[in-house]
Chain A
Amino acid sequence: MSFFFEVLIGGLLSGVMYALVAIGFVLIYKASGVFNFAQGAMVFFAALTCVGMVDKFHVPMWIAIPATIVVMIALGLAIEKVVLRPLVNQPEITLFMATIGLAFFIEGLAQLVWGSQVHKLDLPIEDVPIPWLMDNFNILVSKFDMTAAGICAVLVIALALMFSKTKVGRALRAVADDHQAALAVGIPLQRIWAIVWSVAGLVALVAGLLWGARNGVQFALTFLALKALPVLILGGFTSVPGAIVGGLIIGASEKLAEVYIGPMVGGGIEGWFPYVLALLFLLVRPEGLFGEKIIRRI
């Protein structure tokens, strides 16, 4: 039984990390209706920039992180100006394809600047089992994973507060509801977009550092975007809580499926199981768990 819980908790913890990437998607989708395929590339870019600065220029970590934040904000502003502004009022699919292009561009840029080898990233958190859980319940849970989950939780709460309590958050929600109405009451659409992309960049940095510390900073980080998709389908594209719940469900079910169903069919089902799960779910509830029910008129 304790093995089951170990797998479950491991899955939930990695689900938190998926949720972190998914939140980046949700933020941008909520505020601009852009389904940002480049989020995975941004995670990669952020982590690589941070590690690259440490490795190449031997800057201490506490300088590298703020410097990366500056870079991510600059990136967000640049994306807003170069890519999004000319594409205002285009169909959503066009914007989506533009972000695929963006993803390629960012991946190329990151490797061009910092090289394509795997970097090691050391955060001052140990990857050892928590002794208390070990002693009392005989369950192995890594301290690192637990801390990562804690950081995610803090971030999510901060984002939720920002959305609900601040003036910027109110403007964000207004823009999300209706671009034109928001413009009409004097909300600067472009500035809001710049803010959203910058925040998404920050979330990408957090996700990139946590994932990078676990698996090394490498190109595989970009595939996180693909992991976040079923999470989004499950949770709904427009809901931050949805991203979290979806992440937990996907993370847990993926690990459980791999451990308990995997051996029957030859293993390696982690790659597609979340998608199939999400697809089956879509057939029942096309808007996801927390998504808005879309009523379409002709």
Chain B
Amino acid sequence: MFYREAGQFKTSYQSDSQIFPIRQDRIALAALLVLAAVIVPLFATPYLLSAILIPFLIFALAALGLNILTGYAGQLSLGTAAFMAVGAYASFNFIARVPGIPMLLAFVLGGLCAALVGIVFGLPSLRVRGFYLAASTLATQFFVVWCLTKIPYLTNYSASGVVTVQRMQIFGYQFNTPASKYLLVLAVVAFLALLAKNMIRSNVGRSWMAIRDMDMAAEVIGFRPLPTKLMAFAVSSFYCGVAGALYAFAYLGTVEPEAYNLDLSFRILFMIIIGGVGSVLGSFLGAAFIVLLPVMLNMFGHFLGLPTSFASNLELMVFGALIIFFLIVEPHGLARLWQVGKEKLRLWPFPH
């Protein structure tokens, strides 16, 4: 009943091919954006903003990047954190070495550097697939982190390898309060998410999905596998790179190569499994879930008076069990649950 589209007629091609064809979706999204951009910064505490909402948005962006590669193009990657690291350190270096470079341009350039690295390490994907590719993306992970620790130029000759990132500043405005950082991250993430949603509907996205579903068949009907796969690697790495830059600048403040370890890659992989592989919405839902779960478990452990080591091991177990649970019960993740809910709401209160 709430979700009935009766009476919404499409009378032009334009209205037929818009991103959100159903009016309720458009209204809900607009309401959500207003809530996120106006109400939340007004009322949220600094803790909520800087410890939960900012990481949530950043992880959602990284998950979106991985989702493009794994969910839409079907190339499993375990090197997400490496691409994030490239983005972060490249942005840092651009700002440190190019005087007067605009902040956002540095982020974009950082993302482009990550895209380049992604293309290089995506090259084997033409010859190898599946697990072999997963293993080869691990090479990215170890190699990039090693480069960052061993090449002093990249960390601007800081003795410990730990880098304090520059203040964020756009047109003289300093982003130094949690609320302003949050708004900046929100703007970037919302823009890139919309872009991704559009890209997936376009020719590019269709070619990714064709390669994912059956690469040989896609090749036969005229999709060229190498450019398509490399494009997926490039776009995915770009997203991860920007997410990495935001992670460094808006969340951590200081970065070290170890912040982008294999564990982070796995966490982002978990986000897309739990949220939904091959879904933009799923990236957000998964990120929210993975960011909130440790907080919840911590509170739960604190409430019961459990020691912290117990809680952290419990967290590992819960993560693992949840992954298995989701893969068995709902392989399409939380996004699929939302879809089912939508179908139900469309028919409610009558079952058919």
User: Interface readout for A278-298 with B: 1 if CB under 8 Å, 0 if not?
Assistant: 110011001000000000111
- A4 on the interface (CB 8 Å rule)? no
In the complex, the chain A residue whose C-beta lies closest to that of B216 is: A298
On whether the beta carbons of B320 and A104 are closer than 8 Å, the reply is yes
Q: How large is the interface on A (under 10, 10 to 19, 20 to 34, 35 or more residues)?
A: 35 or more
- B6 on the interface (CB 8 Å rule)? no
On whether the beta carbons of A112 and B313 are closer than 8 Å, the reply is yes
On whether the beta carbons of A93 and B316 are closer than 8 Å, the reply is no
Of the listed stretches A127-135, A159-167, A227-235, chain B binds: A227-235
Give Cα A278 to B124, complex, Å.
11
On whether the beta carbons of B313 and A286 are closer than 8 Å, the reply is no
In the complex, the chain A residue whose C-beta lies closest to that of B272 is: A97
* Residues of B in contact, count (CB < 8 Å): 44
On whether the beta carbons of B317 and A112 are closer than 8 Å, the reply is yes
On whether the beta carbons of A101 and B324 are closer than 8 Å, the reply is yes
Give Cα A272 to B323, complex, Å.
28
Selected from A94, A104, A112, A275, the residue in CB contact (under 8 A) with B310 is A112
**Given that A96-B131, A101-B323, A271-B146 are known contacts, is A296 also in contact with B139, CB under 8 Å in the complex?**
no
**Given that A100-B269, A112-B317, A266-B150 are known contacts, is A272 also in contact with B322, CB under 8 Å in the complex?**
no
On whether the beta carbons of B139 and A96 are closer than 8 Å, the reply is no
- A136 on the interface (CB 8 Å rule)? no
- B2 on the interface (CB 8 Å rule)? no
On whether the beta carbons of B135 and A230 are closer than 8 Å, the reply is yes
Give Cα A233 to B309, complex, Å.
36
Q: Name the A residues within 8 Å of B315 (CB-CB).
A: 108
Q: Name the A residues within 8 Å of B193 (CB-CB).
A: none
User: Which A235-264 residues sit within 8 Å CB-CB of chain B?
Assistant: 237
On whether the beta carbons of A103 and B320 are closer than 8 Å, the reply is yes
Question: Closest Cβ of chain A: how far from B278's Cβ, in Å?
Answer: 12
Of the listed stretches A5-13, A59-67, A82-90, chain B binds: A82-90
Give Cα A283 to B127, complex, Å.
6
On whether the beta carbons of B309 and A116 are closer than 8 Å, the reply is yes
Q: Name the B residues within 8 Å of A296 (CB-CB).
A: 216
Q: Name the B residues within 8 Å of A298 (CB-CB).
A: 214, 216-217, 220
User: Which B117-148 residues sit within 8 Å CB-CB of chain A?
Assistant: 124, 127-128, 130-132, 134-136, 138-139, 142-143, 146
Give Cα A265 to B151, complex, Å.
9
- A35 on the interface (CB 8 Å rule)? yes
User: Interface readout for B214-231 with A: 1 if CB under 8 Å, 0 if not?
Assistant: 101100100000000000
Interface of B is mostly: helix
On whether the beta carbons of B316 and A271 are closer than 8 Å, the reply is no
User: Interface readout for A195-234 with B: 1 if CB under 8 Å, 0 if not?
Assistant: 0000000000000000000000000000000100110110
Selected from B269, B313, B323, the residue in CB contact (under 8 A) with A116 is B313
Q: Name the A residues within 8 Å of B321 (CB-CB).
A: 101, 105
Give Cα A115 to B310, complex, Å.
9
In the complex, the chain B residue whose C-beta lies closest to that of A275 is: B139
Beyond the given pairs A271-B142, A276-B143, 14 more chain A to chain B contacts, judged by CB atoms under 8 angstroms and listed by A's residue number, are A82-B324, A92-B130, A94-B331, A97-B269, A108-B315, A108-B317, A109-B317, A233-B132, A265-B150, A266-B150, A272-B142, A275-B138, A286-B127, A297-B216
Q: List 23 A-B contacts (CB under 8 A).
A: A82-B324, A92-B130, A94-B327, A97-B323, A101-B323, A104-B319, A105-B317, A108-B315, A109-B317, A112-B310, A226-B262, A232-B135, A233-B135, A265-B150, A272-B146, A275-B138, A275-B142, A278-B135, A278-B139, A279-B124, A282-B136, A296-B216, A298-B214
**Which B residues have a C-beta under 8 Å from some C-beta of A?**
76, 124, 127-128, 130-132, 134-136, 138-139, 142-143, 146, 149-151, 214, 216-217, 220, 262, 266, 269-270, 273, 309-310, 313-324, 327-328, 331
